[in-house]
Structure formats: structure tokens, C-alpha cells
Chains A and B, each alone.
Chain A
Amino acid sequence: MDLSEINPVLLIASLMVAATPLLLAAIGELVVEKAGVLNLGVEGMMIIGAICGFAITVETGSTFVGFLAAALGGAVLSLLFVLLTQVALANQVASGLALTLFGLGLSALMGQSYVGVKPPDTPELNIPGLSDLPVVGPILFSHDLVLYFGIALIAAVWAVLKFTRVGLILRAVGENHDAAHALGYKVIRIRVLAIMFGGACAGLGGAYISLVRVPQWTEGMTAGIGWIALALVVFASWKPWRVLLGAYLFGGITVLQLNLQAAGVAIPVEYLAMSPYIITILVLVILSADKSSAPASLGRIFHASH
């Protein structure tokens, strides 16, 4: 056992990569939930994004087009959820679960001819001078562009929610859809856009796994990350910057436990693997004191009939 073998700089750099798919999917779901909709289909949208991004990248040779396709794929799948919950007014929990089931199946069908194919590399940032700096170089200046995009997206969502009229309307819809409707806002339209944004983000997160983090296509490769993203939104108490923090914490625990194992520390792996979930529950309990955090209309069906 030798803890000095763990290089904290590299640890931070690799946990940032590990956290990115989670972060992308979670920030999308945060917007969806802020609008008062609970979409449990994140896993399904992620895996659709993973295969769309992978297939298009392989076909066109461009990772940029691939990521674009992934966002589009996730958004298109989320339209099914829109159709069910916003048009047909079906229960959101059941619809989300059905979406995951459908997405996992569909992605496997779409990906049949892409098993064992190696995708083109995703370019990484390399600024001579900056990328070579000790400590800050590996952490700040030597990742792929999508990782920076994820962080920028967090900032953007935060700014939009906090400072703009759009953000205000979105929150109003999520807090009290009847009041928002009475004020003349198009509740359904706003929710549809939010859900599609969530789908696009989940798709990007999925493509990050199949194009950058792994990179390959295999059936079911998201392996539950979409579910963790759901937990993360709650952990972050619907606050964008806490999503970033939470994603690094969740990603960090996995990377850290692998690091400890490799350094020869005898740790009970199962118990460490449980810890993010237990911490989330604890955070939930602490947050419960603050009743304002969860959008009040979360998961409730809206129909403008009165």
C-alpha cells in the first residue's frame, strides 16, 4: 500500500472526463425538472445519443457532426415522451420508464452493424505552453472540446435561469403551472422545449461515452449512467453549479476507489460503490428542511381545461 502512487493532478484530470457524460445528462434533466416535468427516460435517451453519435461519426468521419447527430437523436426520442405526457397526458413516471425500455431496444437494433468498429479520435485541446504547464496544464488545458462545452453549458443554464425572462418563465411553469397559464404563458410549449433540451443533452452525454470515454459501440454501454444523472439532479437540489460539483463528486468516487485499489489499499469495494447513493439520500434529507428547492409542480400533469 502506497498512497503516494496516486497522483492528485492526474486524478482530477481523469475524474473530469469520467464526470462529463453525467454532467451533460444531468444539466439537461435539471432544466426539464425545473419546468415541472420528471423524465425518467434519461438512460434511454443517452443510449440513443450514444449510437447516433457513433454511427454518424463513423460514417462522416467528423466527431462534430456526430455529436450534433447525438443531440438530435436524443431530442427526437424525447418527442415520444412529449407525445405521451404533454399531448396524451399520460403518467410521467411510467412514460419515462417505457422510454428507457424502448431506447435500449432501438439503440441495439440501430447499432447492429457498428459492433467492433473503431471511431475516429476526438481532437483534444492542445495549446502549446499552456497544456504543458505543471498541475494546471493537465487539469485545465488538455481535454477534448466537449468537456469544456459541458462546463460552459452549466454556466449558460445557470445564467439563463437566474437572469433572463426565459428562465423566469421556465421556473414559473415548474412552480405553479396553473398560475403560469393564467398569466398567459404557453405551459405546454415551454415544457416541450425543455424536454427536448433535456433529450439533446442526454444524447450528447451518451455520445461522449461512445466517442470519447470508451470509445466503441456495444449494446447497453451506458450501463446505468442515466439513472445516476437523475440522482445527481436531486443531489444538486436543482442548482446548476451544484450539478458540476456533484458530477465531479460522483465521478470522483469511482475514480478514487479504483485508485485506492490500485495503490493496494484493501477497501470494501461494494460499500464504496454504494456511497454516492447514500450521500445523495443524506443530501436529500438535509435539503428537505429547505422546502423551496424542488419545483412544486414536478411530475404533475397539466391540462388547461378550466
Chain B
Amino acid sequence: MIVLEKRPQPSQAWSLATPLVAVLATMFFGGLLFAALGKNPVEAIMTIFWEPLFGEFSFYYRPQLLVKGAPLVLIAIGLSLGFKAGIWNIGAEGQYIMGAIVGAGVGLAFYPLEAWYIFPLMVIGGALGGWAWAMIPAFLKVRFGTNEILVSLMLVYVAEQMLASVSLGLLKNPEGFGFPGSRNFQSYASAYNADLIEGSGMHWGVVAAFIAVIFAYVLLNRHMLGFHIRLTGEAPRAARFAGVNPARLILFCLGLSGALAGLAGLFEVSGPSGQVSIDFNVGYGFTAIIVAFLGRLHPVGILLAGSLMALTYIGGEIAQSEMGLPAAAIQVFQGMLLFFLLAFDLLTNYRLRLALKEVA
């Protein structure tokens, strides 16, 4: 029988190899699925993974990868710091929405004034909106010991209702013929988060995501706070002896992840999305949790995981329209990818060994 044996040190080699193995396994089983649906499996896999990067129109899809991946990475970086310390914020979707509402609200309050300071104010508003929303579970946890997983999750639904409410009321475009949704920021230059170089996909949100990756890397590897975060996650008691203030750490981690999620929401609403609408949120906050884990809670890993997720989204859309694959098949395919990535991670921390005798 096979037994698991914990490695004294996580295997460096396996931690690099497992994502590759997982992707290959997904390609194989995904291929079987596509074949079962009567499509050419090789062509489908090629379309998903190859087309967006090196296909005929990759000049368009590559920037789109940035647009799709940036919010995922930005949110996941914030979440990963908390996850490392054992602080579970799974309500990033709500913080993303609140960041967008507050940030957009700030911008719309100035309409139609054109001034250089409007966009920076919106950015601050977005970060504050997400931060404040995350401070609710943080405060409750510090003050009453309330479980932050559940409070942050509950607040997602509250935020969704708020979004519907402002789309139909407070932020509704007065010139929109009564239809729900705010003004479009594309036609409001001072508040529009445009591509920095046109067609590059590089808007401020992408820049922020890259900065966040570097910031998190430095924080975790070069800074005392990063050490405290890791220590708290791995050995909470030792952390307390080392003088870590758990309450302050909770406030910091939840606050930061909320602020980053809020920023992601603001950059999205003022840029690619352009307006506040009832269906503005498309699940980035939840997908980012998966991205954080796929990236092994490591900043560079998250960057890669975010790009991979973005790739399957964009490649999946191409496969739908070019090959007539149903959207559900793409969803199952993504699910498989996550399963394999999570499952094979085992090999990083454990060794499989054949044992002749049963071990209790």
C-alpha cells in the first residue's frame, strides 16, 4: 500500500514541476471530454492554450490577457498575505464591488468637471471602499472573535444588493432613458482609466497588479512584517512569543486585501468595464481565491496562476466561437485544471512511498 510521508522540506523540484504535470493531466482528461462531445481534442486544446498566445490574432489577445489577469492577480496578492497568516478573507468579491461603487461615486460626483485630481481621488475612494468593507470582518474578529470567513462571505451578498440598488438609483445615468447603470467613464476623460499606451492593455490596474507583486515579494522576504505573517501562519504560538500582535496583524492583512480588491474594482469600473451596472461583478473575487492557492501563495506564483486563468478564459471563448464548444464544457475544463493543480500539490510537501506493512 502507498503511504504519504511528509517531507522535512517542501520539494523545490516538485513545486516547479507540479503545475506542469497538472496542466498536462488537464489537457489529457479535457481532451477526452472534448472528444466525448464530438470535437477534435487536439484542436480544442491548441485553441485554448496556443491561439491566445501565438495564434494569428495574438496581437489582440496578449493585451487582453493583461486586462483579464490584472484584477485576479491584484486581488489574489492581497488575499495571499492573509492566507499565509491563517486569516481567511473570502469576501473579496464584496470588497471589489464596494471599491467600484465608492470609486465610481467619487468620479461621478465631479461630473462634468475635468481636472487632473479626479482620477487619483477615485483611486483613493476605491481603495477606501474595499478597505472599509474588509474592516467589518476584521473589527468583529478582533473585538468579538467572530469568524472572518463567514462574515466576509455574508458581506458579498450585502454588497451585491448595494450594487443593484445604486445601479437603479443613486448612480443611475440621468441621460440613460431610465435604463439601469451609471454614466460610462469612457466619455469622461478625467475619470477614465484608459490604456497607457493604446492597444497595449496596460491600464493603471495592470500597473498596480505588477507593483503589488513586487511589494508582496519584498514584504515577505525582506521585511519583519512579512516574517511575522509567515510565522503566524506556521506557528501561531511561536509568533506570540516573538512579539507578534495578532490583532494588529488581522487588521493589517484584512485591510490590505480589502484595499487591493477595492482598487481592482475601481480600475475595472473606470476602465475596461466603464460603468457601474447590476451585473458588474463577474466573480473575480472568488476566482482570485483559487488563483492565490494555485500560485502557492507566492507572489510570482500568483502572477503565473493569474495569467494561466486568464488564458483559459480567453482561449475558452475562442474555442466556443470557433469550434462550437458549449460554455459549460469550458467551465468543466477549468474545474479539472483546478482539481489537478490542487491535487498534485501534494507531491511538493509529501513523498509517496510503497510500504509493505500497514502503518497505523
Contacts and interface: CB of A to CB of B under 8 A. Distances in A.
B332 A230 contact: no
30 contacts: A83-B343, A84-B339, A88-B346, A90-B345, A93-B90, A93-B289, A94-B289, A94-B342, A97-B338, A101-B331, A102-B331, A102-B335, A103-B335, A104-B331, A105-B328, A105-B329, A105-B330, A105-B334, A108-B328, A219-B328, A227-B157, A230-B150, A277-B157, A280-B154, A281-B140, A285-B144, A288-B140, A288-B146, A303-B6, A305-B6
A278 B349 CA distance: 40
Query: Which has the most chain B C-beta neighbours within 10 Å: A102, A112, A271, A287?
Result: A102
B286 A84 contact: no
Q: Find the residue from A93, A105, A112, A278 having the highest chain B CB count within 10 A.
A: A105
Contacts of A270: 161-162, 164-165
Given A112-B326, A270-B162, 20 more contacts: A88-B345, A89-B346, A91-B342, A94-B292, A94-B293, A98-B290, A99-B335, A102-B332, A104-B331, A105-B328, A219-B328, A271-B161, A274-B157, A281-B151, A284-B140, A284-B146, A284-B150, A289-B144, A304-B360, A305-B5
A130 to B, nearest CB: 39
Interface in A59-109: 80, 83-84, 88-91, 93-95, 97-99, 101-109
A253 interface: no
The range of chain B's interface size is 35 or more
Contacts of A260: none
Contacts of B158: 274, 277-278
Contact of B88 (A93, A268, A271, A303): A93
Interface in A264-305: 268, 270-271, 273-274, 277-278, 280-281, 284-285, 287-289, 291, 294, 299, 303-305
Chain A interface mostly: helix
A161 interface: no
A281 B154 contact: yes
Indicate the member of B6, B327, B329, B338 with the most A CB atoms within 10 Å.
B338
Interface of B: 4-6, 37, 88, 90, 136, 140, 144-147, 149-151, 153-155, 157-158, 161-162, 164-165, 286, 289-290, 292-294, 326-336, 338-339, 342-346, 349-350, 360
A98 B140 contact: no
A107 B4 CA distance: 34
A267 to B, nearest CB: 13
A285 B150 CA distance: 11
Given A101-B334, A102-B336, A273-B161, A234 B147 contact: yes
Contacts of A287: 146
A55 to B, nearest CB: 15
Nearest to A231: B154
A264 B317 CA distance: 45
Nearest to B283: A101
Contacts of B145: 288, 291
A294 B6 CA distance: 29
Contact of B146 (A109, A277, A285): A285
A11 to B, nearest CB: 23
A98 B340 CA distance: 10
A34 B310 CA distance: 36
A253 to B, nearest CB: 12
Contacts of B4: 89, 303, 305
Contacts of B345: 88, 90
Nearest to A284: B146
Contacts of A285: 140, 144, 146
Given A94-B289, A106-B328, A294-B147, A274 B161 contact: yes
Q: List the 9 closest A-B pairs by CB distance, nearest first.
A: A102-B335, A105-B331, A108-B328, A98-B338, A105-B332, A90-B342, A94-B293, A270-B165, A88-B343
B343 A90 contact: yes
B326 A109 contact: yes
A46 B191 CA distance: 43
- For A80, A89, A231, the residue with the greatest tally of chain B CB atoms inside 10 Å of its CB is A89
Contacts of B88: 93, 299
Contacts of B332: 102, 105-106, 109
Contacts of A102: 331-332, 335-336, 338-339
Contact of B346 (A90, A109, A281): A90
B339 A80 contact: yes
Contacts of A99: 335
A108 B326 contact: yes
A105 B346 contact: no
A300 to B, nearest CB: 10
Contact of B144 (A80, A93, A288, A294): A288
A94 B80 CA distance: 12
A202 to B, nearest CB: 17
Nearest to A104: B331
Given A227-B153, A277-B158, A109 B339 contact: no
B153 A230 contact: yes
Interface in A208-255: 219, 224, 227, 230-231, 234
Contacts of B346: 88-90
Nearest to A98: B338
Contacts of B161: 270-271, 273-274
Given A102-B332, A271-B161, A277-B155, A97 B290 contact: yes
